[in-house]
Amino acid sequence: MRVAKPGPVNWILALVPFLPILAMPFVAAGVRARPQLAALVALLPATLFFMLAAVPLGTIARVEWLPALEIGLAFRMDGLSRLMSLLITGIGTGIFLYASGYLAGHRDLHRFMTVLTLFMAAMLGAVLADDLIVLFIFWELTSLASFMLIGFDAHKYEARRSAQQGLLVTVGGGLFMLAGLVLLGTAAGSYSISTILSRADVLAEHAFTPWIIVLVAIGCFAKSAQWPLHSWLPNAMAAPAPVSAYLHSATMVKLGVYLLARLHPAFAEWALWEVMLTTAGTLTMITGAVLALRERDLKRKLAWSTVVSLGTLVVLIGLKEPLAATAAVVFLLVHALYKAALFMSSGILDKKAGTRDAMKLRGLGFAMPLTAAAAFVAALSMAGTPGFIGYMAKDLLFTVQLGVPGLLPVVAILVNVAMVVVAGVVAVRPFVGRRMESEKDIKDPPLVMLVAPLVLASLGLLFGLAPGLISAWLVEPAAEAVLGRPTGIALGVKQASDVVYYISLAAVAGGVIAYLAWSRIQPTLARMSWLDDYGPDELYGRMLKGVSSVSGAVTRRFQTGSMRFYLAATTGIMFGGAALVLLLKGGLDLPGVRPLPAMHQVMLVVLIMAGAVAASRLQALFAQVMAAAVVGFGVGILFLSLGAADLAFTQFTVEVISIVLLVAILARLPFRGLDNRTRGERRFDASIAIGAGAVGTLILLAMLAVPFSTHIPEWMGQSSWPEAKGRNVVNVILVDFRALDTLGEIAVLLIAALAATVLLRRKRRG
């Protein structure tokens, strides 16, 4: 392994994303054998937390992967990656503990813990990556892992649909982002993120930059549930509570925000960047706030508030104000702490009381005092109560947002009112008033489920009372990474003016009043059916139905069951498209005068042509096979006459094996007669064959007209033995130089063989 700065710290940084992957078999086997030991899996993220905390800022580890493209397995530790990686492992420790109690006794607990470990690895790889391609690989791995976690209860339709929706939206957005990342690497001349950030002046003048901004933003918006790609996030609440707390509050949904923050120094001066982020973020805040007030389900209510928070973060990243970078970092940390605690608390309520309906949950404070304490303390941080770090985040948020001209200050105030209502409904309403009637024995869960929400909620108070614990070590370096330069702003120093302070208090007071009236407001909002009928979730459902209808129509039209039709359609489209390109793009060309072939070569060509004509004219099936063999062996002899002995013998070997297998298979097939095509069908097939042959000939002639470069064949000939230890160049090309291509071909043949075997067995049984 080659690292930028040799030393054990670099090895730690390079290994951290892969250690959870290596641990997955042991997690699966251990938890399956002894489910009661599932809580010990929390030692893995806890260990990674302390390992990452010990890695100093500026550490880089790089392993060369594709040197020609300057792509490497590169990882870097800076302020932003430290904040994200510590959130992933720190909150992950609590989530693993919580999950071991929440799913205790579940038959698939081992599968859940294993996939959760995979997700943690993918998130760590994404936030530590210092290469765009490596980041994208881990990015897509998070989508795959979240698909499996959201759909964990696969027997439920809601879980299956939500998992599919999350996968389609995030992976679809990822395809846009991949195009943007490729353009970004091309424009900057490197796929190294560190290098790209240092070449902002190059991107400022490049024609690709507007396209890069749009494509990358779409991918990030899809991952971080920005309007109008936001509906998958609340639907993902069909997953178990540990999934909601981990994936959709603290980590995965922040990945899009992370990438926007990571690339902000490169695009901060572009007006397009600011407009896209602030517009999408503001619309997301409004949408999430309205739908959060409308929701009765605790988890979905928290999910809509998460949508609001993600919109807020995107707005902050889009602003050029230095204070916005600090506000974004502090709010990202605060939100992760209180939202994970609230999700776990709502999961406890669901498990113990049997419902998540806020209208039904009442008076459980004395029955569940520890759960109530965790939820209430977390809600105080969410509401921005003085003494909590949530208050400092609110101080920064209001100072930034109220200073922006336009509608953003009004939206910020109204959204804050809505978030106070959400905090009250989730953390106060279920525990006060007359106790709900229930046949269940409602009480606090085992300590293993309470440790995480209690600790995370308490950290909000601890960091609020002692901000120095995280200011210089965690918050300021992260804000510097987002801004691209030191911010000069220390956490804990009051930023808001007296006017902003009083506006903030008024927003809290308005939130308390709205909370007291929520039971009357919610039914009114729920009756607004147009919010569902014309929302993106309904549009998503209609799009899926449209795709199903179109695919069904296409299938009925083209899946005729006729191999002859399939071959004709495939050949016609492929060679017809090639002919259009040749004609429209001026690709027709003829090679210059070349030495005439020898007489024996001319005779071989005539023999090959005769074999082709015979194969198409003969009636008997085996006679056609033998005629086709004449073509194959004739081509092999032609190769031999031209001096390509290794290629010729490879051709002979393939031809012999193909004929033997083909004859063996055809001998067992129940053919009842010979060719039964009509004269018109034969003429049509002949026209397809002649047209394809003519187009292929024109392509070959055009290729021969281009000057032949011997660079690649010379390199292959020279490298065959020293690099691949093979003297047969053709074999080396197949199994080494183009190994993945050959492996794909083998896989296709294997799949075809398995399909043929199944069909033959069914025929025999019939």
Model confidence pLDDT, tens digit, residues 297-333 = 888 889 888 999 999 999 999 888 888 888 889 999 9
* Average pLDDT across the chain, whole number: 85
pLDDT value at position 3?
Answer: 42
Give the residue with greater pLDDT, 348 vs 536.
Answer: 348
Handedness of CA 276, 278, 279, 280 (dihedral sign): positive
Whether 252 and 222 have beta carbons less than 8 Å apart is answered as: no
In a domain, 313, yes or no: yes
For residue 276, the surrounding DSSP H or E stretch is helix 271-294
Looking at residue 65, its amino acid is: W
Residue entry with tokens 């002919």: 579
Across 523-528, average pLDDT: 82
What percent of the chain clears pLDDT 90, i.e. is strictly above it? 20
pLDDT digits (tens, 9 = 90+) for 22-41: 999 999 999 898 888 888 99
Number of domains present in the structure of the chain: 4
**333 and 470 share a domain?**
yes
d(CA 339, CA 381): 10
Looking at residue 581, its amino acid is: V
Give the residue with greater pLDDT, 492 vs 715.
Answer: 715
In a domain, 575, yes or no: no
Token pair for residue 113? 């813990």
pLDDT digits (tens, 9 = 90+) for 376-413: 999 998 888 888 888 888 888 888 888 787 788 888 88
d(CA 384, CA 392): 7
**105 and 197 share a domain?**
yes
Domain enclosing residue 551, as ranges:
529-559
Token pair for residue 748? 């296709």
pLDDT value at position 496?
Answer: 62
Of 528, 549, 568, the domain-final residue: 528
Q: What are the two backbone dihedrals, phi and then psi, of residue 472, each rounded to the nearest 5 degrees?
A: -75, -25
Across 676-692, average pLDDT: 85
Token pair for residue 670? 């129940």
pLDDT at 595 > cutoff 80: no
Whether 339 and 306 have beta carbons less than 8 Å apart is answered as: yes
Token pair for residue 270? 């572009």
**437 and 478 share a domain?**
yes
Q: Kindly indicate the confidence band of residue 6, based on its pLDDT and cuts at 50, 70 and 90.
A: very low
Q: Kindly indicate the confidence band of residue 211, based on its pLDDT and cuts at 50, 70 and 90.
A: very high
**353 and 275 share a domain?**
yes
Token pair for residue 423? 């905090």
Q: What is the largest CA-CA distance in the chain?
A: 104
Q: Kindly indicate the confidence band of residue 9, based on its pLDDT and cuts at 50, 70 and 90.
A: low
Handedness of CA 332, 335, 338, 339 (dihedral sign): negative
Q: Which residues pair with 297 in a beta bridge?
A: 357
Q: Kindly indicate the confidence band of residue 593, based on its pLDDT and cuts at 50, 70 and 90.
A: low
pLDDT value at position 623?
Answer: 83
Of 528, 551, 574, the domain-final residue: 528
Distance between the two ends of the chain, CA-based, in angstroms?
A: 58
Q: Which of 94-108, 122-136, 297-311, 697-711 has the lowest mean pLDDT?
A: 697-711
pLDDT at 2 > cutoff 70: no
pLDDT at 1 > cutoff 60: no
Distances (CA, A) of 315 to 218, 261, 280, 306, 763: 15, 11, 8, 14, 63
In a domain, 765, yes or no: yes
pLDDT value at position 8?
Answer: 64
> How wide is the angle at C-alpha 185 spanned by C-alphas 181 and 63, nearest 5°?
100
Q: Kindly indicate the confidence band of residue 4, based on its pLDDT and cuts at 50, 70 and 90.
A: very low
Residues 6+ apart with CB under 8 A from 509: none
Q: Kindly indicate the confidence band of residue 701, based on its pLDDT and cuts at 50, 70 and 90.
A: confident
d(CA 118, CA 18): 9
Of 516, 538, 559, the domain-final residue: 559
d(CA 654, CA 648): 10
In a domain, 111, yes or no: yes
**507 and 442 share a domain?**
yes
DSSP 3-state of 589: coil
**346 and 256 share a domain?**
no
**541 and 479 share a domain?**
no
**520 and 553 share a domain?**
no
For the chain, helix (H) and strand (E) counts, in that order, are 33, 2
Q: Which of 136-145, 562-571, 756-765 has the lowest mean pLDDT?
A: 756-765
Q: Kindly indicate the confidence band of residue 373, based on its pLDDT and cuts at 50, 70 and 90.
A: very high
**256 and 281 share a domain?**
no
In a domain, 636, yes or no: no
Q: Which of 125-139, 183-197, 535-549 has the lowest mean pLDDT?
A: 535-549
pLDDT at 120 > cutoff 90: yes
Across 595-611, average pLDDT: 84
Token pair for residue 365? 């404070």
Whether 334 and 390 have beta carbons less than 8 Å apart is answered as: yes
**316 and 387 share a domain?**
yes
Whether 382 and 419 have beta carbons less than 8 Å apart is answered as: yes
pLDDT at 243 > cutoff 90: no
- Nearest partner of 110 among 34, 208, 40, judged by Cα: 34
- Nearest partner of 330 among 390, 380, 381, judged by Cα: 390
pLDDT value at position 175?
Answer: 92
In a domain, 308, yes or no: yes
Q: Kindly indicate the confidence band of residue 50, based on its pLDDT and cuts at 50, 70 and 90.
A: very high
- Nearest partner of 296 among 239, 357, 339, judged by Cα: 357
pLDDT at 262 > cutoff 70: yes
Exposure of 528 in the CB half-sphere (CA atoms within 13 A): 12
DSSP symbol at 431: G
Torsion angle of C-alpha atoms 119, 131, 85, 385, degrees rounded to 10: -110
Looking at residue 158, its amino acid is: E
Residues 6+ apart with CB under 8 A from 250: 87, 88, 91, 336, 339, 340
Token pair for residue 258? 């992370």
pLDDT value at position 413?
Answer: 87
Across 359-381, average pLDDT: 89
**374 and 470 share a domain?**
yes
Across 134-145, average pLDDT: 92
pLDDT digits (tens, 9 = 90+) for 462-509: 998 888 888 888 889 988 888 888 877 777 666 666 777 788 888 888
DSSP 3-state of 437: coil
Handedness of CA 133, 269, 56, 2 (dihedral sign): positive
Q: Please tell me the pTM assigned to this model.
A: 0.79
In a domain, 325, yes or no: yes
**238 and 294 share a domain?**
no
Torsion angle of C-alpha atoms 250, 256, 258, 264, degrees rounded to 10: -150
In a domain, 602, yes or no: no
Whether 97 and 448 have beta carbons less than 8 Å apart is answered as: yes
d(CA 167, CA 151): 10
Q: How many CB atoms lie within 10 A of CB 686?
A: 11
Instruction: Select, from the ranges 84-98, 423-437, 599-613, 695-709, the one with the highest average predicted confidence (pLDDT).
Output: 84-98
Give the residue with greater pLDDT, 355 vs 7.
Answer: 355
